[in-house]
Amino acid sequence: MPAAYGEDEMDLWPGKPYPLGASYDGSGVNFAVFSEAATGVDLCLIADDGSEERVPLGEVDGFVWHGYVPGMQPGQRYGFRVQGPYDPEHGHRCDPDKLLLDPYALAIDGTMEGDPSLFSYPMTDGTRGTTGERNGLDSLGHTLLSVVVNPFFDWGQDRPPKHEYHQSVIYEAHVKGMTMLHPDVPEALRGTYAGIGHPVIVEHLVSLGVTAIELMPVHQFVNDFHLQDKGLSNYWGYNTIGFFAPHNGYAAYGTRGEQVAEFKGMVKNLHAAGIEVILDVVYNHTAEGNHMGPTLAFRGLDNKSYYRLVSSNEAHYYDTTGTGNSLLMRNPHVLQLIMDSLRYWVTEMHVDGFRFDLAATLARQFHEVDRLSAFFDLVQQDPVVSQVKLIAEPWDIGDGGYQVGNFPPLWTEWNGKYRDTVRDFWRGEPSTIGEFASRLTGSSDLYEHSGRKPIASINFVIAHDGFTLRDLVSYNEKHNDANGEDNRDGESHNRSWNCGTEGPTEDVDINALRLQQQKNFITTLLLSQGVPMLAHGDELSRTQGGNNNAYCQDNEIAWMDWELSEEQLDLLDFTRRVLQLRKENPVFRRRRFFAGSADHGGESDVHDISWFTPAGLQMNESDWSNGHARSLMVFLNGNAIPEPDPRGMPIRGDSFLMIFNGHSEMLPFTLPDAEYGTDWTVEIDTADPEPSIRTYAAGEPVETQARSVIVLRHVSVKDARPPRGAAKAPEIRGVARP
C-alpha cells in the first residue's frame, strides 16, 4: 500500500468547499467532498499504470473536505479514501480500504465485477457476513474511478426547443436498444450517444412527429453482480452510482471524460431538429444496495447521512424501492446533491426535462408520502429546475406509494390509470365505458382538483416495463424464461389479450386482428387529451417474444429490429398519419378540460364535447352505467376551444367524431343530427387496410367493424345549434358531460 503524500511532497493549496466535486478552471482542479462521519479524507490520484498517490485533504468547512491541485489537467482519474468509524450496528460504514467514487464526478471510467474487495464485510466460503469486522481488502483495480472533466464545449447556436406540453409527443427510448441494430448507423456508433445523435435516428424521430426523446437512465450505473454471474446484465440501467456522469458504456469515443462531450453533441444535434431531451433519472436509491452490497461511494463516505436506515437496527436499510436502499430525502446534503445534479444537467448538458423513477420515494421525508416535502419545495423555488419538464412516476412499493393524481401542480405524471383503462377497454373488460371516456378526455378526476390541466397526464399504454405493443396483443402470459428466474419475475397481470392464440402464428385473421388492435391503441393514445408517450419501436411493431421484464436482456430480445416487414411499414405509416392529425388539429390537444356544455367561451353554441350511443342518441344515465357497453361515439367541437393562441386570437379548427367499437361484432353507428355537422369525411379507420376517402351525411349509418376506431372530420360547425330536449348524461367523475 503506497505511503500517504504530505503537502510538502505535492503542491496542494487549500482550495474551496464549493462547488463540490472536481472543478477544472483552466489552471488546476479544486476537489471538494462532503462527509460528516469522516475523521480524515485522502484524495487518491490514479496514474495510467494503476498506481496511486494519496494526498490528505486537510481543509474542512461545514463537513466538506477540500483542496486545490494547481496544474492538474482533465483526464486525471481519482477517488477518495475515508478514515472514520466502521460500526454498522450504529449506521457507520467508513472503510479506508475502499477507493470511493466522488458523488459529484462528472465522468467515470472503468467497469466492475463482483470482486470480494468491493465488500467491506468478510466473506467465508463464498458467504457474506454482517459482523462489525472489515475484510481489509483494497478495492483499487476492481472499482470505478472518477475522472476530471474539461467543462468547455462549443454549443454554437444551441437553443432549447421549449415545446409546450400540449404540443408535445414523448418517445421513450433506450440509447443502446434503439441504435444497436440500425443498418444505417455506423457500426462504431451503434449503442452510443453519438448513435442517437446520428442523422438517420434524428430523421426517424422527426418524420414520426415526436417532439421529445425520453432516454432511459444515462447516469452512470452499475451492472448488478448477480446478473453478471448468470451471464446477463442490467440493460435498463436503473442502478445509478453517478448522478452527474453520463454512463460510460454508451460512449463511442472514450471514457476519460470524452463521453461528456459526446453526450453534449447528441443533445445539440437533437435540438437542431427541434427535439427535446428528457432524462429518466433515478434519485430514489443507489447501486450500493442493501447491507450486503458493495462499498462504492456514498456508503463509505457517510452511510448515515446518505441513506434511510431502519431506526431500530441501523445495520439495515429502509427500502421503498425494492432495490435494497432509499436515499435519505430529509438530509440537506442529499437534497443538495439531487438539486445540484438536476441543475447541472440543465445548465451544462442542456437537457430539457426529467422523468423521476419511483418519484413517491422522493416525497418520503419520514414514513409517509408527503407531496409537500422538502424536495418539492426546493424544486418549486429553483429558478432553473422549475422551468423544465418534470414528470413523475407517481408510485413506489412502500405503504401508500401509489400517488397518481397527487403530485404538486408544477408536475406532470405517468398516468398509470390511463394505461390500465385503455388496455381493459380494448381487451373487452366490462364496466369500462365511463372511465374510458374520462381517460380519453384528460383525466379531470385526477388532476382538476389541484388546478392542473389535461397536460398533467402523461398518457401511455406501453412503457419499457411490461409488454411491447405487439406483445400486448400477442400474449396472455409473460414468457420471461430467458431472465433465469423460472418465469417468476415480471408482472403477471398484464391486461393483455393474444387475439386467439399465444405467440407467433401464421393465421392470417389473427395477425390482421393484432395489427388492427395495435392501430386501435395508437389512435386512442395519440388522440386523447393530455401528453402522449410512445415506447420506442411500438411504431414498428417491435416484439420481445413475450418477455415483459427485459431489464437484463442486453441483446436482440430488447433491441429494436429495423428490418421491417410490409405489416410493420404499414404500422409506421399509420402512426405518422395519426400524429400528423394530432399536430394539425388543436381539438386533440386542448390546454383546458372540456366544459361539457355550450358555455365554454369558444366560438360555437354547440357543446364543446358530446357523447352518443351507436344509435346516434346522446348518452343518458343508463347508457353510462351499462356494464356491458363496449362502444360509444364522441363529438369534439373545434370551434369551442376557450384558450387563445399565442397572438391572443381565438383558436378555431375542424370538428371530429370519434367512433369506438370495442365489440367483437360489426356495429352500425348513426351519425348525429345536422346540428353537429352536415358532411363528414373519414380520416382514420383502423379496420381499413387501404384507407380510402369516404364521406357521410348527418344521420347516416356508418358500419364500424369489430374492434375498430373510425375518426371523421367536419370542416365547420360554427353555425350549428345544440339539439333541443337532449337527455342529460349522469355526472361520472372525470368525464365532461353534455
- Give the C-alpha separation, 352 to 193, whole Å: 16
Q: Which residues pair with residue 712 across a beta bridge?
A: 657, 682
Q: Which three cell numbers stand for residue 622?
A: 343508463
CA dihedral in degrees (415, 417, 420, 424; nearest 10)?
Answer: -130
For residue 346, give every residue at least 6 positions away whose Cβ sits within 8 Å of its Cβ, in sequence order, or none: 352, 384, 385, 388
Peptide bond into 19 cis (omega under 30): yes
Return the closest-CA partner of residue 636 out of 677, 670, 668, 674: 677
Q: Which three cell numbers stand for residue 479?
A: 414468457
DSSP-derived 3-state class of residue 674: helix
How far apart CA 650 and CA 730 sit, in angstroms, is: 30
Compute how many other C-beta atoms are within 10 angstroms of the C-beta atom of residue 703.
Answer: 11
The SS3 call for residue 287 is coil
Rounded to an integer, what is the distance from CA 583 to the centroid of its chain?
22
Whole-number Å distance between alpha carbons of 332 and 430? 49
The packing angle between helices 199-208 and 566-584, to 10°, is 60
So which residues are the catalytic ones? Answer: 357, 393
- What's the chain's length in residues? 738
**β-pair type (412-414, 389-392):** parallel
Q: Which helix (DSSP H) or strand (DSSP E) does residue 518 occupy? A: helix 508-526
Instruction: Provide the 8-state DSSP code for 430.
Output: S
Backbone φ and ψ of 361, nearest 5°: -65, -35
Residue 656, CB half-sphere, CA atoms under 13 Å: how many? 22
> In this structure, are residues 604 and 552 in contact, taking their beta carbons and an 8 Å threshold?
no
User: In DSSP terms, which residues pair with 213 in a beta bridge?
Assistant: 171, 277
Using the 8-state DSSP alphabet, how is residue 588 labeled? Answer: G
Residue tagged 456514498 (cell numbers):
298
Which residue, among 17, 265, 255, has the nearest Cα to 146 in the 3D structure? Answer: 255
541 alpha-carbon distance from chain centroid: 20
- Inter-CA distances, 633 with 420, 437, 734, Å: 21, 10, 17
Residue identified by cell 468478510 is: 122
Distance of CA 2 to the CA centre of its chain: 45
